[in-house]
Homo-oligomer: A and B are copies of this chain.
Amino acid sequence: MDDNSIKTVRFGILGCANIARKVARAIALAPNATLCAIASRSKEKAEKFAAENAFPASVRIYGSYDQVLEDPGVDAVYVPLPTALHVRWAVMAAARNKHVLLEKPVALHVADLDRILEAFESNGVQFMDGSMWLHHPRTARIQSFLSSSNTIGPIRFIHSTSTMPAPPEFLENDIRVKPELDGLGALGDLAWYCIGASLWAKGYQLPTSVTALPDVTRNNAGVILSITASLLWDQPHQTLATIHCSFLSHTSMDLAICGSNGSLHLRDFIIPYHETSASFDLTVGAKFVDLHIGWNVRPEEVHVATELPQEALMVQEFSRLAASIRDCGSRPSTKWPEISRKTQLVVDAVKKSLELGCKPVCL
């Protein structure tokens, strides 16, 4: 263990999910993180994964998740396991004093999430979910426009989508549509982003009520493949958000935020088109010219560069918090668990509205 690996936060990864390739690269890119260990349920699978992704020889390869949690050279774990396994492994990781970056959706319902979060609180370790887009500098830039009272004005309407055209085999067999693994289906995998974006735009104020729309689609096992829902805020002024999430539609990641004075649009809010720069469209004070034969302004494209990809920025922020706890005795940040919990509450409310035949569910 060299000096560098002590100063940085030392990561283990539980499982060889496809997304782990992206996060392993992000750990390599983040200046304050190092990948130290990878585990699968079989050592052979972990070895193959490490070789395919050109992990350094220093990365320890394990044939069980337990071994990562028992490794004293691991400060933090990234957990991309199926949602149904989150309680078990996140709680166990917290009990072993590991900080956890937990892939979304974080839990099947808020009761499970509360078991997880209690374990983190009582062990004084950091929790964060894997919502990468929140860490892109574009997100902060948009936030600055939303916060400026003269730019967008009070938000009246938010619309977001997260859709991808899954092939037939995915719709029956992928982990994300297996009731015993990711029972929330598209509501967990995709709506997590849209609900998260709506809450983020509203400064994490919970909506007054949530209503599912009557177009839910399920696979033969009853798992949600597509869902549309609305979130309503009554105070301090009325805001409605619509979200549409589907494994049955062309790839889209639209986010539109419309206030009384301006609006913001982007179509790649979850994964930017390109790694090094992203943009959004800003329109302020739009009016029609005389005779209503055109507009006084067109949307302005605002570009935001980023030196590190958003997932590396996520790892960097998580590692900063973990290192602060480890090296300076800080308390874990409550910001990220609170964001996850509010998102989960709305996920649960959409599910309940569906169960009630699309009746509004108050929060």
Binding site for B on A (CB under 8 A): 19, 21-22, 25, 152-153, 156-157, 159, 161, 163, 165, 209, 211, 213-215, 217, 226, 228, 230, 232, 238, 240, 242, 244, 246, 248-252, 254, 256, 258-263, 265, 267-268, 271-275, 281, 283-288, 291-295, 298-299, 309, 311, 358, 360
Q: Which 6 A-B pairs have the closest CB atoms?
A: A215-B240, A251-B286, A156-B249, A22-B291, A273-B295, A213-B230
- Asked whether, in the complex, the Cβ of A161 is within 8 Å of the Cβ of B165, the reply is no
Give Cα distance in the complex from A254 to B274, angstroms: 24
Q: A252-B258, A275-B293, A291-B21 are in contact. Are A246 and B157 (CB under 8 A)?
A: yes
Distance from A216 Cβ to chain B, minimum over Cβ atoms (Å) = 9
- Asked whether, in the complex, the Cβ of A260 is within 8 Å of the Cβ of B248, the reply is yes
Distance from A221 Cβ to chain B, minimum over Cβ atoms (Å) = 18
List chain B residues, Cβ under 8 A from A215. 230, 232, 238, 240
List chain B residues, Cβ under 8 A from A246. 156-157
Give Cα distance in the complex from A159 to B226, angstroms: 15
- Please name the residue on chain B nearest to A245 by beta carbon: B157
List chain B residues, Cβ under 8 A from A265. 254, 267
- Please name the residue on chain B nearest to A209 by beta carbon: B214
Other-chain contact of A283, B165, B217, B250, B360 (Cβ < 8 Å): B250
Other-chain contact of A249, B157, B272, B358 (Cβ < 8 Å): B157
List chain B residues, Cβ under 8 A from A214. 209, 211, 230, 232, 360
- Asked whether, in the complex, the Cβ of B271 is within 8 Å of the Cβ of A294, the reply is yes
- Please name the residue on chain B nearest to A298 by beta carbon: B273
Other-chain contact of A263, B230, B250, B291 (Cβ < 8 Å): B250
- Please name the residue on chain B nearest to A19 by beta carbon: B292
- Asked whether, in the complex, the Cβ of B293 is within 8 Å of the Cβ of A159, the reply is no
Distance from A287 Cβ to chain B, minimum over Cβ atoms (Å) = 6
Distance from A133 Cβ to chain B, minimum over Cβ atoms (Å) = 12
- Asked whether, in the complex, the Cβ of A244 is within 8 Å of the Cβ of B244, the reply is no
List chain B residues, Cβ under 8 A from A252. 256, 258, 263, 283, 286
- Asked whether, in the complex, the Cβ of A299 is within 8 Å of the Cβ of B21, the reply is no
Q: A214-B209, A286-B251, A291-B22 are in contact. Are A260 and B156 (CB under 8 A)?
A: no
- Please name the residue on chain B nearest to A156 by beta carbon: B249
Give Cα distance in the complex from A161 to B156, angstroms: 12
Other-chain contact of A244, B153, B240, B294, B295 (Cβ < 8 Å): B240
List chain B residues, Cβ under 8 A from A22. 291-293
List chain B residues, Cβ under 8 A from A159. 159, 161, 242, 244, 254
Distance from A146 Cβ to chain B, minimum over Cβ atoms (Å) = 13
- Asked whether, in the complex, the Cβ of A250 is within 8 Å of the Cβ of B153, the reply is yes
Give Cα distance in the complex from A15 to B244, angstroms: 43
Q: A165-B260, A240-B244, A242-B228 are in contact. Are A271 and B292 (CB under 8 A)?
A: yes
Give Cα distance in the complex from A307 to B136, angstroms: 43
Give Cα distance in the complex from A131 to B337, angstroms: 49
- Asked whether, in the complex, the Cβ of A294 is within 8 Å of the Cβ of B274, the reply is yes
Give Cα distance in the complex from A244 to B238, angstroms: 13
List chain B residues, Cβ under 8 A from A163. 156-157, 258
- Asked whether, in the complex, the Cβ of A272 is within 8 Å of the Cβ of B294, the reply is yes
Other-chain contact of A294, B254, B267, B275 (Cβ < 8 Å): B275
